[in-house]
Structure 1
Amino acid sequence: MQVNFYDYATTVNKVKEFGLVDPDDKEGKKPAFVSYDKTTDKWNATVECNNRTDYSFIAVDNNIPLTVKNNGKDETASSCDAMLYTPKTVCFIELKADKKGNDWLNRGMEQLTNTISFFGKELNKYENKRAYLCNSKRPFVPSIHKIAQQQFMQKNKIVLRIKTEIEELK
């Protein structure tokens, strides 16, 4: 089933920076959102945008109905939390808050890969493509994750950045 991601887009306010929040709800049913206030929301990632007016945000997980067939039945597909885009750049973002182990890394890369696959040919519209795996509990990533980043690049043809600061999009 083809899904139009842009039907779910919202415009980001003209600000120097904003945060992305994956709400900590017990049922895990609320989608990620943009926050402009660090004092009221706990940001999982910070986005630089330098007062630009061409940023758009899409909450993906718990918002866009992405499904896959499993034994002939439709099941909800695992997807990343959010996307940002400008006229030239698309950015896929997975937000984590895990302290222990590396399972968060593998799960996050799978969620990003699934969403990129659903986005499909729309990728060709963009000059720049990015993916971020942001773990607010582990903002500093050891160099051992370089192998995972290389594997992600080979599979998706998109550079994976593992950090909580998202640089200004082109």
Structure 2
Amino acid sequence: MIRTLLLLALCLVCLPAGAQSDPAADAQTLKQRALELNRDLLILEEELLYPPSSQIALYLSMDVAEYFALDAVKVKIDDTFVTSELYTDNQVDALIRGGVQKLYLGNIKSGAHEISAFFTGEGPQGQPYKRAASLQVEKTTAPLVLELKIVDSTAKLQPVFEIKQWEL
């Protein structure tokens, strides 16, 4: 509803009374302004829903994946599962090529928390592989940003799963 009203207001502002101009150019300008307004509204919505003082964001990244083929990830904060994801071959390929996926964006209270991630897939010889990683974190008033990393260990000839806290 708010978006509709703002879009209507934008339309009224963009169309000057009695002006003779190219309708295609006006339409393109209106589309561009509507996109900018939509972007601004999404940013405002995210800031309102996830204020920095309680925000937590979780991302997933992957290495070469010579020793692990990812099928699924589940994430738990304290004793509550907050997200799970099943992966297609295309998604795994994007992660291997350096992509980073936003797994979760939410709110938590300040204080101590345990973040646990459960990884499921195929191991080095094609056998089923299930591993977990966990990290104790202290939530402050700053946003908490964590990266779940899957890295090949050539020394161990197996994958290593870790959770890294980003410093902002």
The reply to whether TM is greater than 0.5 is no
Q: TM-score, normalised by structure 1?
A: 0.26
Instruction: Return the structure number with greater relative CO, CA threshold 8 A, min gap 6.
Output: 2
- Which structure shows the higher helix fraction? 2
- Which structure shows the higher strand fraction? 2
